[in-house]
Structure 1
Amino acid sequence: MTSRAPAAPSTRQRIVEQADRLFYERGFENTAFADIAGALGISRGNFYYHFKTKDEILAAVIAHRRVQTQAMLDAWAQAAHTPADRLQCFAQMMVDNREAIQRFGCPVGTLCAELAKLDHPAQADAGMVFGQFRQWLRVQFVALGRSHDADTLAMHLLARSQGIASLANAFRDETFIHREVAQLTAWILAIADGGPGLGAAAR
């Protein structure tokens, strides 16, 4: 039996993926329909067949990011055998994406910040990607026996990651990313060994 080649992405999916990239690299407000259509080499008519407004594209991009985030979280859960290992996958994400983070910051954080400045109604939807991370991290801390402060620890880890991404973007300092992620890894392992919690992560 011969295996089938994966189906090529639809035009709509290609538009969403290209818009996702451009929103991240240029910002939502600074990306026009023409930029997305031009990057794909499609006509404006073909573009408008799938999306009539920029807000429709934004909603599709946010939905795409939520699907991609969930797929990543599921992959970490399958690949890592312990909650501490899964938490380290989250921290390692900043090292794995260090080049993009230094150039553009965190894709979730930058979009949420931009939409907040615009007072855009999609701000809450964009922030739900953070909600996915928060819930997943909380589950891992509960599995480590920290049910009493799992959400606090999850939010702290999210906050640290955002701070790292923001400063790495500001200073374009790869060494900083590696050092901070190493400290987060040590903190996670200390938590897994019964450590006290937030104090070690602040050092």
Structure 2
Amino acid sequence: MGASETRQQIVDVADRLFYERGFEATSFADIARDAGLSRGNFYYHFKTKDEILAAVIGGRVEKTRAILEAWARNADSPADRIRSFVHILITNRTRIMAHGCPVGTLCNELAKLDHAAKEDAARLFSLFRDWLARQFAMLGREADADALALHLLMRSQGVAVLATAFRDEAFIYREVSDMEAWLQTQCPATSLSRSRQSV
């Protein structure tokens, strides 16, 4: 395995452990053990846990951008793109019930620690916020597009928190259905038809 592959393996393992256990509770030894690396090989790639955190956040940003681009390519309308965002609660329901939202849990922990990387982690939410706002603007809601985006982000985070607390899969499905119904009320029929014609 080359140096770049080893480095990526460390980042992937750290990403999983930070999500499942938390950043503070995860040690260098935990990451090295799960990656199957000696301490010397490990330290060749990363000298501090903060360096690994920066790489994890950078990787999540890249993956989030790729997801948003895929939704933009594959959906027929802005409303359908927004539904793709809502449906990640169902797609990731098993992991969410076990560990919460990966973005929300990391941002919350780093904020509590007043960690220097807390604003970098919050960029993940900003990517979703800006992307959702653009979709709402294309649906004719330019004036309150950002407020609608924030509302949807807030509601999805609330669902993730309660799904983790109660381990209730049916709750996730009900809330996703309610969010889809809410979305329909926010999008005038003329905007929905116009957005489908413009894609």
Structure 1: distance between partners of 2:138 and 2:184: 13
Does 2:114 correspond to 1:119? yes
Higher relative contact order by CA 8 Å / sep ≥ 6: 1 or 2? 2
% identical aligned pairs: 61
Aligned length: 189
- Which of 23, 29, 34 is the aligned partner of 2:18? 23
User: 3-state SS of the aligned residue for 2:142?
Assistant: coil
1:194 CA drift (Å):
5.0
- Which of 156, 177, 185 is the aligned partner of 2:180? 185
Structure 1: distance between partners of 2:189 and 2:45: 52
Structure 1: distance between partners of 2:4 and 2:63: 15
1:187 CA drift (Å):
1.4
Residues 72-108 of structure 1: per-residue CA shift (max 9 Å, x gap): 0000001101000000000000000000000100001
Q: Structure 2: any 5+ residue segments left out of the alignment?
A: 191-199
User: 3-state SS of the aligned residue for 1:29?
Assistant: coil
Q: Structure 1: any 5+ residue segments left out of the alignment?
A: 1-6, 196-203
Query: Could you say which residue in structure 2 is the equivalent of 1:106?
Result: 101
User: 3-state SS of the aligned residue for 1:117?
Assistant: helix
1:144 CA drift (Å):
0.2
Residues 59-82 of structure 1: per-residue CA shift (max 9 Å, x gap): 000000000000000000011010
Q: Which runs of 4+ in 1 moved over 4 A?
A: none
Describe the shift of the 1:8–1:52 C-alpha distance in structure 2 as closer, same or farther (beyond 3 A): closer
TM-score scaled to structure 2, two decimals? Answer: 0.92
Query: Could you say which residue in structure 2 is the equivalent of 1:200?
Result: none
More helix by share: 2
TM-score scaled to structure 1, two decimals? Answer: 0.90
Root-mean-square deviation (CA, aligned residues, Å) is 1.6
